[in-house]
Amino acid sequence: MPGHELIDSEAIFSPLGAFKRIGLAVSGGPDSLALLLLAADYARRHQQPDRFIVYSVDHGLRPEAADEVSFVLAMAAQYGLMARGLKWEGDKPTTGIQQAARAARYALIGAAMAEDGVEILVTAHHLGDQAETVLMRLAHGSGVEGLRGMDYFAEVGGVMLVRPLLGIEKAQLQRVIAAAGLAPAADPSNNDSAYERVRWRQMLPQLAAMGLDGRRLARFADRMRDADAALDEMASTVLFEHDQVTGIRTLLREALQKAPRAVAIRAFGNLLQATGGGGKPHDLAPVEVLVDRLRADPALKRTSLHGCLVSSDGTTIVVAPEPGRSGKAQSRAEPGNPVTRN
């Protein structure tokens, strides 16, 4: 297959050997179209045409989108892969459209994956996407967890994702498309500076000229991932007691004082997430302020944060769920599991 020698499809897909059926998120743009070609090359080499299913979503936001989905389906058929076109029906929000479209996309693909017996979805996020993510989170004041960028494996909207192209530059993907003689679809929103991500994308060449290129930003993200894992391990040593009936958690103020500040903040942030029952990461800055206060002040009558009521008598810190909170969200919430991002 023309272009496959530019990127080794074996290196991309061999690590996913544990998954019997794999979904591919393909919009028709150059990145995802290159992903389709690499999957087709791998499927041909291993004689596994039925292992991959291409999913392409028409969000109903642009008149060209329907044709782009048809293009993706035709490309999948041309290269011997199964494919499904999906459409976001119904009314669209007037604000937060990108976030809503993203949620709808993963909901549609997730439902289709369940029907098809697909275990994981591969996306075409690449090195440039990782660099943009790190810059955006840095600008938003993210802590260590946010600065780790996008993970190789992740769960989004109930869909298990893998991003095997995170170490590959966009130019490499474009060369794969060019070698195959294909003309990818062009989404004008990818160049619309009204979106923050696009503004950072446009800034990257200037940063690269100063030595801060995509690969250095990605390396920084890798180091933050290592630091994040170390914080998790240390935070797990900050012990607390949990009343399973009331959902109340207590810990000794001394334990929070003795721990290094970063560890104390991570541990207490995890505690808030577990107790408040929140389903998403919360703002880090208020957690930092509250931990500093708990460590410095002998007593705290009561304050609320992230769905929790927090108080201290100077010896014991009590964290209780606010009325109406279940306090049962613990998938990534007990100490040792990061919860604060920005």
> What pLDDT does 323 receive?
86
pLDDT band at 175 (very low <50, low <70, confident <90, very high): very high
pLDDT at 126 over 90: yes
Q: What pTM was estimated for this model as a whole?
A: 0.86
Phi, psi of 43 (to 5 degrees): -60, -40
Whether the Cβ atoms of residue 133 and residue 149 lie closer than 8 Å to each other? yes
More reliable by pLDDT, 155 or 6: 155
270 shares its domain with 181: no
- Residues 56 and 126 occupy one common structural domain: yes
- Mean pLDDT over 210-235 rounds to 96
Amino acid residing at 97: I
- CATH code of the domain containing 102: 3.40.50.620
> Would you say 124 and 166 are in contact if contact means Cβ atoms under 8 Å apart?
no
pLDDT at 281 over 70: no
Q: How many CB atoms lie within 10 A of CB 189?
A: 14
Same domain, 71 and 11: yes
For residue 92, the model assigns a pLDDT of 84
Under the banding of pLDDT at 50, 70 and 90, the label for residue 5 is low
Q: Where are the beta strands (DSSP E) in 140-243?
A: 153-156, 159-162, 241-242
Do 43 and 167 share a structural domain?
Answer: yes
CA distance 314 to 222: 39
The mean predicted confidence, pLDDT, of the chain is: 90
pLDDT at residue 335 greater than cutoff 50: no
Q: Are residues 254 and 206 both part of a single domain?
A: no
Tokens of 39: 């999957």
Q: How far apart are CA 67 and CA 70, in angstroms?
A: 5
163-177, 201-215, 272-286: range with lowest mean pLDDT: 272-286
In a domain, 227, yes or no: no
Q: Which residues contact 53 (CB under 8 A, 6 or more apart)?
A: 21, 22, 23, 24, 81, 82, 83, 84, 113, 116, 118
pLDDT above 60 (res 250):
yes
The number of distinct structural domains making up the chain is 2
Q: Are residues 143 and 85 part of one domain? A: yes
- In the block, tokens 């000229």 appear at 209
* Local confidence band at 278 (pLDDT 50, 70, 90 cut-offs): low
Is residue 181 located within the same domain as residue 204?
yes
Q: Where are the alpha helices (DSSP H) in 210-320?
A: 214-235, 253-258, 261-276, 284-296
Beta strands in 62-115 (DSSP E): 82-87
76-80, 196-200, 279-283, 298-302, range with greatest mean pLDDT: 76-80
Domain hosting 213: range is 4-221
